[in-house]
Copies of this chain bind each other. A is one copy, B any other.
C-alpha cells in the first residue's frame, strides 16, 4: 500500500463531500421507523436504497427477506487480500414523537449551524444512517480512485435494531457461511470527545420487559369504589419503587451475580481521562448524580448494571381530571447488564419479584422486549493496533479504549454465531441527541469518519 494511493483517496473524499452529503440526505429522508408497522414500507424503501447504492459501486448487494424487516447484505470481492472484514450498521431509526419538540422536520435533513459548528440535522443522522454511510463512502472513494478495495469487505445492514433485532440472530445462523469473516466492525459508537477518537471495548447488555397489571374487570368510579377496590397503578408503583434500594442498588436477588470490579488498568485509564461529571450532567440540566451512591459517573454509565423505567401509563392522562380507578396499568422496564450477568436469569428474577407483589385477585402479563448480555472485548486482537494507528493518524491524538453504556446486541452475536472478533469504531458525539428530538451528527464526524475508515481499510491491508 503506497501512501500516494491513500492520499489520493483522502483527497477524493474531501472533494466529494457535497455528493456524500446528498446521498446521506436521500437516506435520511426515508422514514424508516421500525417499531411502527405503518412505516414498514419506508423501512423496506431504505433497504432498497442501500442495496441499489452499494450495487452502484460494485458490491454484490441485495435486500434480503426476513420474518421482519429486510437485511441488506453486500459483498465486494475486488480485493483478494486479507483480512476479510464484515461491517455492521443499521438503517432503521427511532420514532420521532413528540413531534412538537423538534425545531425542524425530522425527515427533512439539512446542514445547519449549531454552537458555531456545522451539524447534519435529522432523525437517524447519528443513529445510525450517518455512521454507516461513513463506511460506505470510504469504500466508494477507494473503488473510485483505485478501482478496488484494499481488503475484502462484506456488509450486513439491519432494519430492526431499534425494534428488538428479532430477525438478526436467525439470519446470522441461517447465513453463517456467507457471513464468515476474519473481523467485524460495528459502527454505532462514539468518539471520546470531538477531538479524540475511541474504540469501544466494553458494552452493556439489555433486558427489556413490559408488565401489564390488571385489577378490576372494568374502569371504576373512584367515588363509588375508592378505598376498597384495588388500584393497579398503586400495585405498579409499589413494584417499581421496590426495584432499587435507598443506595441505588437493584434489589432483585442475584442481580449482581457475574458483575466484576473494573480491571485496575482500565480503572486507571478512565481516571486519567479527567471525565467532567458536572459538565456531563450539566449539559442536560442535571447536577446530582442518580443511581449507586458509591460509584463514579463514568463507571455507572459504562460498567455498572441498572434498572430503569422507560415508560409508564395508567388511568386518565388527558387534559383535566377524571376520578377513575383504572382496570389496568402498565410499564416498560429495562435492565442494562455488564460483564457476565445472565439476561435470562435477570428476566426470571424480575418476573418472580413482580409476581410476589401481585395481589391474589389481580393478574400480570409480561411482554418481553429483547435480551442480550454485556460484552467486554479483549484488547489483544491483532487488527486493533492497525485500527488504533489509523485513527490516531487521522485525528492526531491518542485513541481511547472506552466503555459504552448502550447495548449493541449484535456484538455478542458476532462472537457467538460467526466466531469473529469485533471492533467497535464510530464517530458520534454524546450530544447527538439520539433517540430524542433534534437528533444531529457533526459534519466533522461525518467527514472525519469517512477519512478514518479509508485509513483503516488501508492499514488493515498492510497488516493483513
Interface residues of A in 401-451 (CB under 8 A from B): 404-407, 430, 433-437
Q: Does A226 contact B (CB under 8 A)?
A: yes
Task: Report the minimum CB–CB distance from A288 to chain B (whole Å).
Answer: 5
Interface residues of A in 298-317 (CB under 8 A from B): 300-301, 304-306, 308-317
- Contact check, B237 vs A241: say whether CB atoms are below 8 A apart: yes
Number of A residues, CB within 8 Å of B: 96
A219–B322 alpha-carbon span in the complex (Å): 27
Task: Report the minimum CB–CB distance from A295 to chain B (whole Å).
Answer: 8
Contact flags A306-337 to B (C-beta < 8 A → 1, else 0): 10111111111111111111100110101010
Q: Does A240 contact B (CB under 8 A)?
A: yes
A312–B284 alpha-carbon span in the complex (Å): 24
Residues from chain B with Cβ under 8 Å of A309 in the complex? 231, 233-234, 237, 314-315
Name the one of B221, B312, B436 contacting A221, with C-beta atoms under 8 angstroms. B436
Name the one of B240, B285, B369 contacting A361, with C-beta atoms under 8 angstroms. B285
- Contact check, B216 vs A285: say whether CB atoms are below 8 A apart: yes
Nearest opposing residue in chain B for A238, CB measure: B241
- Contact check, A361 vs B286: say whether CB atoms are below 8 A apart: yes
- Contact check, B322 vs A221: say whether CB atoms are below 8 A apart: no
- Contact check, B436 vs A218: say whether CB atoms are below 8 A apart: yes
A208, A229, A280, A329: which has the most chain B beta carbons within 10 Å? A229
- Contact check, B222 vs A289: say whether CB atoms are below 8 A apart: no
Task: Report the minimum CB–CB distance from A32 to chain B (whole Å).
Answer: 14
Task: Report the minimum CB–CB distance from A82 to chain B (whole Å).
Answer: 34
Residues from chain B with Cβ under 8 Å of A237 in the complex? 236-237, 240-241, 309, 312
- Contact check, A315 vs B336: say whether CB atoms are below 8 A apart: no
Task: Report the minimum CB–CB distance from A438 to chain B (whole Å).
Answer: 8
A211–B314 alpha-carbon span in the complex (Å): 15
A206–B224 alpha-carbon span in the complex (Å): 13
Contact flags A342-375 to B (C-beta < 8 A → 1, else 0): 0000000000000000011100000001100000
Task: Report the minimum CB–CB distance from A121 to chain B (whole Å).
Answer: 15
Q: Does A95 contact B (CB under 8 A)?
A: yes
- Contact check, A332 vs B336: say whether CB atoms are below 8 A apart: no
Nearest opposing residue in chain B for A219, CB measure: B436
Name the one of B208, B219, B241, B405 contacting A435, with C-beta atoms under 8 angstroms. B219
Task: Report the minimum CB–CB distance from A361 to chain B (whole Å).
Answer: 4
A118–B421 alpha-carbon span in the complex (Å): 73
Residues from chain B with Cβ under 8 Å of A284 in the complex? 216-218, 220, 225, 229
Q: A310-B315, A334-B222, A430-B224 are in contact. Are A285 and B217 (CB under 8 A)?
A: yes
Task: Report the minimum CB–CB distance from A190 to chain B (whole Å).
Answer: 9
Residues from chain B with Cβ under 8 Å of A15 in the complex? none
Task: Report the minimum CB–CB distance from A406 to chain B (whole Å).
Answer: 3
Name the one of B292, B306, B318 contacting A97, with C-beta atoms under 8 angstroms. B318
Name the one of B206, B217, B223, B315 contacting A332, with C-beta atoms under 8 angstroms. B315
Interface residues of A in 65-97 (CB under 8 A from B): 94-95, 97
Q: Does A379 contact B (CB under 8 A)?
A: no
Residues from chain B with Cβ under 8 Å of A321 in the complex? 35, 163-164, 208, 210, 310, 332, 334, 369-370
Q: Does A230 contact B (CB under 8 A)?
A: yes
Name the one of B163, B226, B231 contacting A336, with C-beta atoms under 8 angstroms. B226
Residues from chain B with Cβ under 8 Å of A244 in the complex? 234
Task: Report the minimum CB–CB distance from A61 to chain B (whole Å).
Answer: 28
**Which 9 pairs across A and B sit closest by C-beta, in order of nearness?**
A223-B406, A217-B285, A311-B315, A35-B320, A227-B300, A241-B241, A321-B369, A311-B316, A313-B317
Other A-B contacts than A237-B237, A311-B317, 20 sampled, CB-CB below 8 A, are: A35-B319, A95-B316, A217-B285, A219-B436, A221-B434, A222-B310, A223-B407, A224-B405, A227-B291, A227-B301, A228-B291, A229-B281, A229-B290, A233-B310, A233-B312, A286-B361, A308-B323, A311-B322, A311-B324, A312-B313
Can you report 30 A-B residue pairs in the complex whose CB atoms are below 8 A from each other? Answer: A95-B318, A163-B321, A164-B321, A204-B223, A206-B323, A215-B286, A216-B284, A218-B437, A219-B436, A222-B308, A223-B336, A223-B405, A224-B406, A226-B301, A226-B306, A227-B291, A227-B306, A229-B290, A231-B290, A234-B308, A234-B309, A237-B312, A238-B241, A308-B323, A310-B324, A310-B326, A312-B329, A323-B406, A323-B435, A324-B435
